[in-house]
Chain A
Amino acid sequence: MTEQQLVDGCIREDRKCQEQLWNLYATKLLTVSIRYCQNREDAEDVLMEAFVKIFDNMSAFRGQSSLETWMRRIVVNTSINKIRSRKFTESIDNEALHIGYSDNSFDAMDAKLLMGMLESLPVGYRMVFNLFAIEGYSHKEIAELLSIDEGTSRSQLAKARKSLQDMIEKKGVIHA
């Protein structure tokens, strides 16, 4: 089934198409929500909430970008809303940094380790870094999305990078 057929089926509220869309993208989009949310439970809530929006607004998808890009945007926005709706305690879980540290090479770092490092960042740093470095948002878009100044976005990104580099240096895994 092509992407367009999936979209058309979801617009028609075809349950099979909706389920197939879920099966295709749920695991990938869960990674996106995990990067923003404090815990996996919240991330899964966000994922389901995002899919509700996706199904409800499928007719708004015009095909100007890929379906996955469009869905990622929705997951990102839903994640940010989730973060806003909760009072986050920005505690750094240092235990996460020890998960999977068995190699001194960046290349060998698996996604789980990197995820742990991201999770250890304060929520503000993490959101800006995720949006800029991984999702490819501009500082202007981040500023609009998070209701902050562009300068704030830039400074938070710099601090996030510095924190990540410090973590890596602290663990002795830095390389040139």
Chain B
Amino acid sequence: MIKTDQIFKDALHNHETPLSGKASFQGVMQKRKNKRRGFFWFSLSSVLLLLLSLTAATLFRSAVSEGNTTSENNTQINTDNTGNGAGKVAKNASAKQSGDYRVKNNEAALNQPAFSHTSRAGAISKSAFTVKTGQAQRPDISDKKNNSSLGIKPVNSATSNGSGFELSAKGGSDQILSDNLYETRKLLELSDWIKRLSGRGISIEKNAKIMPTEGTVIPEFVPFYPPREPKFNPIFELNVATAGNGYKYFRESQDVTIAGNHRFSQYQGIMLFDMGRGVNIGAGMGYMESVGIGKALISSYVYDTMLQKDVRITKAQNISYRLNIVSIPLAVRYQLGFGRSLVRISVTAMPGLVTLGSGTMFSRDALQSMDVLKKSSFTMDARLGAGLYYQVAPKTAISAEPMVQYQSIPGAQWNSFSRFGFGFGLGVVFRP
């Protein structure tokens, strides 16, 4: 050993420095007490956060299931006579059996949410309607294929009135419609609630084990610290996120009014490397399930022979779609602060491929089958998040992170779809 080293070691190794008043045994005991109290609150908040996430995931799942079941066989003809809804056929009670209808063409009401009105019972099954050629954008009810989707079907002999079509609304069907709209409203409210949550991702910067040369292996917390040079110790990060993209579009057209919502849940596994100065970069695998649930009101025009004029018929249709995407997340993380609890900013680009697309898309141009979205369509999503992580064990940390995610699906005309989704995520980070 160099003499300088020896001199310093001899002089300082066993040197004792008198304590001042601040450092005391009582102070140590007080710190221990505070630490335990902090651990209690952290544990409690972690459990609550976990429960909240599980609840959100469960609600999301149940909403997805509900959307799938309600999308079947749901076309109805709206015969609301309250005048609150968009393009409703108002029925004169005194002319109930005569088929004498008045068109209450309340244009101002077109901007009203489709589910904001109440429905009243009315029977119009014996009305005499004939089809008048619709305008360019109007659904042509003489087209069997189109009519099938609109809920207008050719009448059978028992109810035929010569027009060749029957409107499927009968006494009580309006109530069904009202129920469907109410369900949609509930779903939208739910997604709004989920939308307020957000996030993902965490990281541990330093291996938290210290190996004394001749001593005991002590599990010791070593917090994040930006090293001077890159250190290629892999960090494994697993995270799950859920978010919702608000989508409430009420078209100012007489033909189509759509309200819906889009949500997704995302699962990612990423391997990160420490690049120094608080920066981690990495890549991994991701899987995303996207679900859209909404309600469309589609208007058509028929000619009422009694009134000798066009009558507008509006039918409601539940619409939904599902989209699965496999992606390769490319992640950059930047840690702020030091110690056991850190603030982290994360940016993730997620190029991916569509593996499943089914259902009906919401687009500004009414509804489109998801068939237009080919399975191999390329997607490029990006996410920006900022949140907290806490090191719970020498090699493990958890994170909670609000986030905003941009979704892009080239080839799909989601013109009205809000491409920015706000969500919340949880993550676990391991450093072997």
Contacts and interface: CB of A to CB of B under 8 A. Distances in A.
Interface residues of A, number: 63
Contact of B11 (A44, A63, A110, A129): A110
Contact of B339 (A85, A138, A149): A85
Given A31-B17, A49-B31, A110-B11, A152 B229 contact: yes
A169 to B, nearest CB: 12
Contacts of B207: 144
Contacts of B229: 148-149, 152
A27 B27 contact: no
A74 B228 contact: no
Interface stretch (B86-94, B219-227, B253-261, B317-325): B219-227
Contacts, number: 146
Contact of A69 (B29, B35, B215, B219): B215
Given A44-B22, A147-B231, A133 B219 contact: no
A2 B18 CA distance: 24
Given A56-B32, A64-B215, A70-B216, A111 B12 contact: yes
A175 B215 CA distance: 36
A92 to B, nearest CB: 18
B20 interface: yes
Interface band, chain B? 35 or more
Nearest to A83: B225
Interface in A99-118: 106, 109-111, 114-115, 118
A148 B31 CA distance: 32
B274 to A, nearest CB: 8
Majority SS at the chain A contact face: helix
B211 A141 contact: yes
Interface string A68-107: 0110011001000100110000000000000000000010
B16 A28 contact: yes
A73 B223 contact: no
Contacts of B16: 27-28, 30-31
A136 B223 contact: no
A123 interface: no
Contact of A60 (B5, B20, B219, B231): B219
A26 interface: yes
Contacts of A106: 7
Given A77-B222, A134-B13, 19 more contacts: A18-B29, A27-B17, A34-B17, A51-B28, A52-B35, A57-B218, A65-B215, A69-B212, A73-B215, A85-B338, A114-B7, A132-B5, A133-B1, A133-B5, A133-B8, A134-B9, A138-B213, A164-B4, A165-B4
14 contacts: A18-B25, A26-B19, A27-B19, A30-B23, A40-B20, A51-B28, A73-B210, A114-B12, A115-B12, A129-B5, A144-B207, A147-B225, A149-B229, A161-B4
